[in-house]
Each structure stands twice: as structure tokens, then as C-alpha cells.
Amino acid sequence: GVHKFVLSQPEWSQQRYRPTVTLVLSRRAKDEKEAVPATSTFLFDGGAFDAGYNKLPSHAPLRISLPHDTVKVEIHSMVSGHGWGSTEENCAEFCVSQHRFGVRPALQVDDQTYVGPHEGFYTQTLSGAGDDMGCSSKDGVLLKGVTPNQYGTWQYGRAGWCPGGDVRPWVVDVTDSVRPGMDVVVSYEGMFNGSDYKPSKCHGDACGKGGTSPMISMQSFLVVYKQKP
């Protein structure tokens, strides 16, 4: 099919860009016994990071059917925090947030869904956010593609990203929490200090001129693998 790449920037940005994209394709499944991706199902996106974040309709638990020949299941997500200078916590660009996925098997009988008693939890923490030199560290400069000494506050650690760098996918194996041939129920919560985020309005020096409201940008998927034919 047709795939599109989009470069977007906020209205306040005055910078101009001339993007260059290089695609490198490879065949990874060399072993006859290696599992290969069969399906990819969209899970959850982000949104305004506030007291109502986890109550958004787009964050309601999802029920997904798994084929009988499922051999591995993973969650793939790309999460980044944005917004600064409008709350005491300086979220969501410069505060550490947690993003927890819950996974449990389920069975559909008539119109009733029965879920298993044991739910596996898998948490991605956007550590490093708010660190004075987070994006100038070895991880920021060498692994995330950051260009040192660029204009602005490039060296400050951000939530899941650094200026000039890409947002790396977070991949976790959740196979132990599912049953092939059954349904799986996947839930999601975005948290601050392990609970729902309730922003505190900033006062005095904590406020930034031209600050913006906290927001989480996220794309997440459930990837199901089958045995290579």
C-alpha cells in the first residue's frame, strides 16, 4: 500500500526544514524456526495530560482476538511528553511520567466477556525528564542523534525525546500474559508519581513565559507473531 511521511511543526516555530529520508529494508527472519509478525493492532494514543487523561474514551480497555497459531505477542509504543511552564511539575516535557499497560486473557461467551484473574503489568517510564544535562549525556548525544550546542535549551532532559533525535520505540514481550486462541484485554494508564496526574498551577519562578499545557504524544500497537512458514 501507500505509506506517507509527514513533517509537522507548531505554529510558533520560525525554523525552516529541508528533510532528507533514507529507508533501509532488511530481512530479519533467517532462522526457519523464527517467529514473524502476523498482525499489528492499534491500541492507544495520547492527549492532554491532566486529571481526565485516563478517563478519555480513547484510553478505555480494548479486547482483541488472538489466532490459535500465535507464538509471541509484543506491545510496541512510542511515547513523548510535551508542554512546559504552566504547572508546578513542569509537565509533560520536563517531568517523569509512567505509562502502564495491563494485559490479561479473556473469553467471550455470548455477549459476556470473562477476563482472567491475573493481569500482567508492563510500565514504560520516561526517565531523564527534567535533568539539567539529560540531552547532553552520552545516551542523548551518541544514541539519540542529538546535535550538540544547537540553539536554545537543547541540553535539558526531555520526556522520551531530545532535540534533533528520534523517539525510539519501546518494545515489551507480553506473551506470558496471553493465551493463544483466546481474546486478550489490554488496558492503559498514564501516571505521574505512580497515580493519576493532577496538575498544580504554577506560581512565580516556576512559570515560564509562553508556557504550554501538558500533553502526551503516543502511538501504541499490539503485535502478534506466528511461526515462520
CATH number of the domain bearing residue 51: 2.60.120.230
Average pLDDT along the chain: 87
pLDDT digits (tens, 9 = 90+) for 65-100: 999 999 999 999 999 999 998 898 999 999 999 999
* Per-residue pLDDT at 143: 53
How far apart are alpha carbons 143 and 137 in whole angstroms?
Answer: 10
- Residue 29, pLDDT above cutoff 60: no
**Residue 84: inside a domain:** yes
* Nearest C-alpha neighbor of 197 from the set 59, 52, 28: 52
> How confident is the model over 204-217, as a mean pLDDT?
79
pLDDT digits (tens, 9 = 90+) for 43-65: 999 999 999 999 999 999 999 99
**Residue 27: inside a domain:** no
**Residue 163: inside a domain:** yes
For the chain, the domain total comes to: 1
**Residue 138: inside a domain:** yes
Q: Which residues contact 15 (CB under 8 A, 6 or more apart)?
A: 9
**Residue 24: inside a domain:** no
Backbone angles phi, psi at 214, to 5 degrees: -65, 140
**Residue 145: inside a domain:** yes
* Nearest C-alpha neighbor of 124 from the set 93, 143, 96, 145: 96
**Residue 8: inside a domain:** no
* Per-residue pLDDT at 6: 82
Residue 148 belongs to domain spanning:
35-227
How far apart are alpha carbons 84 and 88 in whole angstroms?
Answer: 9
Give the SS3 label for residue 11: coil
